[in-house]
Copies of this chain bind each other. A is one copy, B any other.
């Protein structure tokens, strides 16, 4: 069996495990959209190693042999252009790799506000030793929007430290192994008042865009904190700025914004009750080799004719649990 032709959009970062891939495929390396377009004719597989890079849609007309696109990221929202979605090309993602780091990020954000570290930071700039209020995790309640592998890992970690974690997903249900209860996303505004923490870990789809809107924010407790580690577009950012400015909610930890990078002029930067990180919640010291090993294992499966892991439901926009 001949090696399949594999085009890797490497962007500016070295491709971890490249030699191992070259043993399994006839590799073409592209560093930008133009090189990707040139490499696409005859390519069976595209591996978007630099997942922030664009170019597949621009070169789509030349993708005459494409069967599989792998995106080593959790969210495929930027990748799923209509021609790809309508095609027979299989799309896989990096489901699972970011779970532990993102669960920890959510807990870090929760504890940052629970222990009032924003106030500590402000007081420290003034060299001010002055008592302020803090709160405990035990007995608090978190609502995790997104019941995929990241949301589930988050719920498990929060439960391990004494937080009751409910989920928000496509279908309300009880008896879930990871969530105490799962509410329907359509009921977000009506259930929001019941939570101390709202964690956004949902994929960006037509159904989740702007899910954290003015109505939901108005329903939340003034003491509530939002952690967004999904996509900036899950949030009506103007409504969030308004709620935070008016202390309608207590704080927000944002790993994702709309747009990214967040422009220097954006009012979010200036709010004392906001902490912004530049889209790194899934990072870890091991995530690059883990991503490489995950793709390599799928490439071996591809060559052997076995089913691929982590196939994205292109209509839904994410990997269906268990799939």
Contacts and interface: CB of A to CB of B under 8 A. Distances in A.
Interface in A112-133: 112, 114-117, 120-121, 123-124, 127, 129-133
B261 A129 contact: yes
Interface string A255-292: 00000111010100110001111111001111000000
Given A108-B112, A160-B161, A161-B161, A280 B132 contact: yes
This chain: copies in complex: 2
Given A132-B280, A136-B100, A262-B129, A117 B124 contact: no
B120 A111 contact: no
B278 A131 contact: yes
Contact of A124 (B115, B130, B269): B269
Interface in A84-121: 100-101, 104-105, 107-108, 111-112, 114-117, 120-121
Given A117-B117, A124-B275, 14 more contacts: A100-B138, A100-B162, A101-B134, A107-B161, A108-B114, A111-B112, A120-B276, A120-B277, A123-B278, A127-B270, A129-B260, A130-B278, A132-B280, A160-B160
Interface of A: 100-101, 104-105, 107-108, 111-112, 114-117, 120-121, 123-124, 127, 129-138, 157, 160-162, 260-262, 264, 266, 269-270, 274-280, 283-286
